Amino acid sequence: MHQIIVSALAAASLTLPCPAQAQPSGSGQVVGEIVVTAQRRHENIFRVPAAISAFPESFLDRARLDDVKDIVTFTPGFSGNSDDSYIDSLAIRGITSNDYGIGGDPSIGIFKDGVYQGRTGAAVTSLFDIAQAEALRGPQGFLFGRNAISGAISIATNKPEPGQTSGHIYAGLGSARRIDAEGAINLPIGDDWAVRVAGYGTRFDGWIDNNFTQDRDDRLMGGNKQAGRVGLRYRADKVDFIVTAEHERRRVDGSPYRASNDDREVIDYLNEALEQEILIGGSAKEVDSDLVNPRDDGDITSLTASVDVDFSFARFNSLTAYRRSKFFYLEDYDGTALRLGNYSQDQRASYVSQDFRLVSPDGRRLTWSAGLSLYRENVKARFENEADADLVCTAGYGYADCNEMTLDIYETAYIPAPGNLLVDINEVRSRNHGWSVFLDTNYAFTSALTAGVGVRYARDTKTFSIDIPPSESSLGNVWTFTYFTDGPVTSDRSWDGLTPRAYVRYAATPNLNIYASITRGFKAGGFGSFTVDAPTTIDEYGLVPNGTRADVFAPETIWSEEIGVKGAAFGGKLTFDLTAFHYRYRNLQTVFFDTALRTQQVVNVGRVIGYGVENSISWRPSRYFDVSGHLTWTRTEKRGDRDCTTRDCGGLPNPIWSSAGIATVHRPLGGGEAYLQGEWSYEGRRRESYDWRGITRRDAYIQLNLRLGYKNDTGLEIVAYVQNLLNAHYVRGVENGGDLTPANVWGLSQPRNFGVDLRFRFR
């Protein structure tokens, strides 16, 4: 394996694509000047012994990144972007948490101004008035806590600045009747105080036709979002105090699915059982769904207070946060015009956290940081799975009708529920709390050689309950669940773990840094939202036995090794960042649908091995041209997967090859600069991670964008853009299907679209 990495390093070092952290052209700043704060102190990105990419405000604006998940496109090792509020498909180096319940934790930690943003329904927020975004690969529990076992995204908003009046106004118009607006203003209050107010709004029509409703103008994936933020700051010689309030409202369509006509196993069975010809209508760019109003609605409110006090021996920080969210999601996951699988999730959550940190001054031989973190989270959700009762009785169980089925099972006549629908419900609640402490030390043996070691200890406690009531239909619980509970069944469990990190960094020259690190990651266990753990066999369609508890799954662990080279040449015109990694993962938590037991379970996969190379380069040969991007190669292997007896059970849902970047030509013009910028993003073919049917693969795709703009010295910028220039058709994800659900795809790409953005900055 080490020979593979060495060979890949040699090959990657010859490629042209360059760092995702590169500045957009015309910024006047080379990559080597970028400062990041991932290690709780301000550091040049090329001296940080970690795989990290940084995106300044100018890049986020010009690339039109909409929300936090769009950062995935331009970050090496990241994959799994989608257009909804779910983060279960986000993967870093192949590692993801595909559990869409609430009993576990995401593998990727998303933070804004140092505050953990939580899970699906709360973590995805719009990128407006952002100072910088940082994306870290590899286990980050040591630095960030909160079970960030695969990596982390850290967002920093623009803070109020005393002593200056400044701001910006953005407006945009685009295809599909898209309208964007954003504004921010910073106002000083005396010498030491300032307030900053920012707002954002967008609305857009959809781009996916539903063949089921051909007579309606109801293209899916439209919606609107509004968000606002206000911050107040007091800054004196030794004290810096910031309080921030933010709210976002999201009303967009849920992701539509399209079933595959090629899944003959399922479709031929449906044809025979229903005595009709099932055909998924429309083209590959359309869906054929009985659900005409998929929804992805969210409301997120947050309050944050940060206090920095500069003592002589260290800088003290207190960070207090409160977050509250509401989330409702509705989709048709079977992807057909049959009412077989309409799924909804109605979720409420609150989160309170407190962090205390001490960070030693910079510039000393020994530097250190230490801290304490505490949190409390309360999440509750109601899940509903809806199907036509006649389809369940005939296709699902092989009866002539539902009356025959109830007579056979219960010896009673069939009494339908309203609309002849079979609605399976489960209500779950998770009350979580935890704490962690960390210590990080760094020692400069010489001006060139630095080493560091640190550790975090974390403990998480969860109390989880699940209530599965009897169906309103006299069929009983025969579909999503084949049993019911007499009220909530509850379990509680605590997990703790150590996440150490050690590294050594050597500055071979002032422009060349080499580092090696080893890190342990840990993610707490949790509970399945769609199954229970019974002490004895559950009577079919009956009440669970006494002693039944919520179903628990084990924690995950990872050991990750990295070797990295970061450097600059030709006066900073050429910069590069090359990382090779290898990890060993145990007890990966993943969702598995057991078609025999009809249960959606979270199981632990025995072992995962991953290794790869991430290469980033930025090159600016002249003042008129620059190019930057990345090329990533990743391999993963699962061992000990369900029903797998071979040494390699297949990989995780990561593309083996991926690349993204920008190339820009720019020229001075009339007291400003004109530029033409092209962007590319490529993801290679990838499998569905747990593809037990062997029929789902997501094909490779490439997307090209083009932007023509002009920016002058007064702060005015106008940009015309074409996104998806080649009108490429691709999908975000694939599903195996099985039972009565055909294999399907979701996340159909947005076709070629045009627009104009106008930006004005003032100070």
Confidence of residue 20 (pLDDT cuts 50, 70, 90): very low
The predicted pLDDT at position 301 comes to 99
| Overall average pLDDT of the 457-474 stretch | 97
State the distance between the two ends of the chain, measured CA to CA, in whole angstroms. 55
Helices (H), 79-205: 141-144
CATH topology of domain 2-762: Maltoporin; Chain A (2.40.170)
Residue 28 is predicted with a pLDDT of 35
Give the pLDDT band of residue 238 (cuts 50, 70, 90). Answer: very high
Residue 29 in this model has a pLDDT that exceeds 60 = no
- Going by C-alpha positions, the residue among 260, 110, 127 that lies closest to residue 738 is 260
Indicate if the pLDDT at residue 299 is higher than 90: yes
Q: What is the DSSP string of 176-202?
A: TTEEEEEEEEEEEETTTEEEEEEEEEE
Region of 318 (left: φ > 0; alpha: ψ -120 to 50; beta: rest) is beta
- Mean pLDDT (whole number) for 686-709: 80
Tokens for 518, please give them: 């080893």
* Its pTM surpasses 0.85: yes
How deeply is 193 buried, as exposed, middle or buried, from its count of CB atoms within 10 A (0-12, 13-18, 19+)? middle
**Taking residues 742-749, what's their average pLDDT?**
92
State the pLDDT at residue 5.
38
Residue 332: its pLDDT value, please?
A: 96
- Beta strands 52-56; 130-137: pairing state: antiparallel
291, 328, 445 from 218: Cα distances, Å? 11, 20, 66
Could you tell me which residues come within 8 angstroms of residue 302 by beta carbon, excluding any fewer than 6 positions away?
A: 112, 115, 244, 245, 246, 247, 321, 322, 323, 324
In sign, the C-alpha dihedral spanning 258, 264, 268, 269 is negative
Q: Using CA atoms in the order 541, 543, 547, 552, what is the torsion angle rounded to 10 degrees? A: 50
> For 67, which DSSP code?
B
| Residues whose CB is less than 8 angstroms from the CB of residue 717 and which lie 6 or more positions away in sequence, other chains included | 709, 710, 711, 757, 758, 759, 760, 761
pLDDT-derived band of residue 23, with 50, 70 and 90 as boundaries?
A: very low
Q: What angle do CA 357, 236, 438 make, to 5 degrees?
A: 5
Q: What is d(CA 574, CA 418) in angstroms, rounded to the nearest whole number?
A: 67
Span of 138-142, 183-187, 562-566 with lowest mean pLDDT: 138-142
For the residues 26-54, what does the mean pLDDT come to? 78
For residue 191, CA distances in Å to 161, 235, 310, 757 come to: 10, 9, 19, 35
Q: What are 328's strand-pairing partners?
A: 297, 346
Half-sphere exposure of 180 (CA within 13 A, CB side): 21
pLDDT tier at 637, thresholds 50, 70, 90: confident
pLDDT for res 643: 53
| 43 CB neighbour count, 10 Å cutoff | 17
Instruction: Kindly list the distances between the CA atom of residue 78 and the CA atoms of 72, 132, 135, in Å, as whole numbers in the listed order.
Output: 5, 18, 9
| Better-scored residue on pLDDT, 319 or 687 | 319
Q: How many CB atoms lie within 10 A of CB 190?
A: 9
Return mean pLDDT, the chain. Answer: 91
Q: Return the minimum-mean-pLDDT range out of 71-85, 367-381, 439-453.
A: 71-85
The rounded distance, in Å, linking the Cα atoms of 71 and 200 is: 18
3-state secondary structure of 57: helix
Write the pLDDT tens digit of every residue in 590-628. 887 766 566 788 888 878 999 999 999 999 999 999 999
Closest by Cα among 8, 93, 21, 15 to 52:
21
Q: Model confidence at 10, in pLDDT bands (50, 70, 90)?
A: very low
DSSP string, 293-329: --EEEEEEEEEEEEEEEE-SS-EEEEEEEEEEEEEEE
Q: Is the pLDDT of residue 17 over 50?
A: no
Tokens, residue 229: 């933020």
Contact 59, 23 (CB under 8 A): yes
Which residues 6+ apart lie within 8 Å of 419 measured at CB? none
pLDDT confidence bin for 22, thresholds 50/70/90: very low
pLDDT at residue 731 greater than cutoff 70:
yes
Question: What is the pLDDT, as a whole number, of residue 19?
Answer: 39
Q: What confidence category does residue 327 fall into, taking pLDDT thresholds of 50, 70 and 90?
A: very high
Tokens of 414: 């069939």
Cα–Cα distances (Å) from 712 to 24, 130, 716, in that order, read: 15, 22, 6
687: pLDDT strictly greater than 80: no
Domain spans of the chain, in order of start: 2-762
